[in-house]
Copies of this chain bind each other. A is one copy, B any other.
């Protein structure tokens, strides 16, 4: 049984999800011959450190009560110090994403890789802005840099290509990379709602969050497209290279006219020889990318397996931890 020490950087929804799943699945790790433990949890104002492993239940309760600082192992240390100086195998970076600065994630990630630790993250900002730099650093330090949860949450994406399509060349990727806009477009189509009313409903449902403009202006899916292009297609593109059109100008009339002709309007991302774009497109109703509600979908065209479509949940606490643990387990069971 291999002991795996992990530093958890960020203890919001995703970080707590990881602690929750560690508890929920504690008997399942033995199947993979690993014994993971969280040796540090970093928050913006300090951290909890315990090399013997931090018991998850106590720490989850304190986090719920917003008094993590009262934990017996709380220290007033900065995350960067903890990442660099704590003995650990894997750093899990799950702080809130920023597509403007990429911070604090980028600094955390660099510190993790620089100090020779494997890195697993759900934080897409740093990858959308600095993928090549982070990837090169990981190679130089001979550690794993894994980011399954950054694109399409619990839906298998990078590990699908890496593990199940290993020998294939990926010729193009098309897909739906944002659940909020897909929900709004589904409501406009099925219930004949205007964009404004569908958006309001998405807000009330908690689907559209405070930063909903990132979704409706296609900024979020464009960031994901950049990560896909660089990580899977071996490109070296920037966010500003993506042609990007949002969904806020789409009228009820356009959606209903499409419907009459057996089409749907979907916000489609595409990476191919000629295209790097996220734009609303007319898609035939029977097309495999016509998936409803908040679902995400990716259609890979490959040289051996030909078309492979995957559909799943692009967000959610447990969904995201599913992706994070697929990275962690793969790191622990692969030849380094």
Binding site for B on A (CB under 8 A): 21, 25, 28, 32-33, 148, 154-156, 159-160, 163-168, 285-286, 288, 290-292, 302-313, 316, 318-319, 321-323, 325-326, 329-330, 333-335
Interface of A is mostly: mixed
> Copy number of this protein in the oligomer?
2
In the docked arrangement, what's the CA distance between A167 and B304, Å?
A: 28
| Neighbouring B residues of A291 by C-beta, 8 Å | 288
Is B286 touching A167 in the complex (CB atoms < 8 A)? no
Closest to A168 in B: B322
Choose from B32, B164, B306, B335 the contact partner of A159 (Cβ within 8 Å).
B164
Is A288 touching B306 in the complex (CB atoms < 8 A)? no
| Neighbouring B residues of A311 by C-beta, 8 Å | 288, 307-311
Known A28-B167, A164-B159, A164-B160; contact A306-B319, beta-carbon cutoff 8 A: yes
Is A167 touching B307 in the complex (CB atoms < 8 A)? no
Known A155-B308, A308-B311, A312-B305; contact A326-B288, beta-carbon cutoff 8 A: no
In the docked arrangement, what's the CA distance between A244 and B335, Å?
A: 43
In the docked arrangement, what's the CA distance between A166 and B164, Å?
A: 13
Most buried by B among A167, A288, A323, A326: A167
| Neighbouring B residues of A321 by C-beta, 8 Å | 304
Known A308-B154, A318-B304, A319-B304; contact A167-B326, beta-carbon cutoff 8 A: yes
